[in-house]
Amino acid sequence: MLEVASRTDDASLTALYGNWIKRMALLLRARMPWAELDELLQWGAIGMMEATQRFDPSLGVEFQAFASRRIRGAMIDGLRRDGARRRGEASFEPEDVEVAALESGLAPEDPLAVLQREDNRTLLVAALKTLPQQEYQVLAMHFFNDMNNREIAAVLEISEGYASRIRKRALESLAIYIKTAAKGETVP
């Protein structure tokens, strides 16, 4: 289907993948019922056009895998921009209940922030799965068990300096993975 799509213009490609974009929009809307479906579809079409411009088949990644992140990202970006615009237009005096909720920490959390946090968590889990076992162990001991380099070194029977280098290398690998994935590129 990609070969056919690559010979067409962006509008034809969007029409070809229209049901797929709609399915993605409906899934996103299920988590954010206040979102307008028509707007999600428009932002999804924009994301599809961006994906076709940036897609490189020589990297060996399936088009749908590449495009899905771009499309979903375009929808979320659109919601974020639209929310900021609407908040700017709505000048109101908060009610006492709203002020009290904010001060007590009981105010409802921004749905986009929740969605972004879930995406970040999913991305981090995927990145952790790519690490060699020893790097994963060092990070797990450090961040989940609050162990310092000396304690990690004792458990793994390595030097303290080597434990530090392993942790540094693992964090660098995670950073590269996350930056690459955030750009929508193929992750090593």
d(C-alpha 177, C-alpha 130), whole Å: 9
Task: Report pLDDT digits (tens) over 3-29.
Answer: 434 445 666 766 678 888 999 899 888
Question: How far from the centroid of its chain's Cα atoms is residue 88's Cα?
Answer: 26
Judge whether 37 and 29 are in contact, CB under 8 Å.
yes
Judge whether 67 and 111 are in contact, CB under 8 Å.
no
Give the mean model confidence (pLDDT) for residues 131-136.
92
Task: Report pLDDT digits (tens) over 55-77.
Answer: 888 877 788 888 888 898 889 88
d(C-alpha 66, C-alpha 6), whole Å: 14
Task: Report pLDDT digits (tens) over 86-102.
Answer: 655 554 555 565 555 55
- Which of 28-37, 71-80, 87-96, 152-161 bottoms out in mean pLDDT, i.e. has the lowest? 87-96
Domain 109-188 has CATH 1.20.1440.20: no
Q: pTM (2 decimals)?
A: 0.45
- Which SS3 state, helix, strand or coil, does residue 55 take? coil
What ranges do the domains of the chain cover?
Answer: 1-91, 109-188
CATH fold, domain 1-91, is Rna Polymerase Sigma Factor; Chain: A (1.10.1740)
Task: Report pLDDT digits (tens) over 48-58.
Answer: 888 888 888 88
Tell me, what's the pLDDT at 97?
57
The one-letter code for the residue type at 153 is A
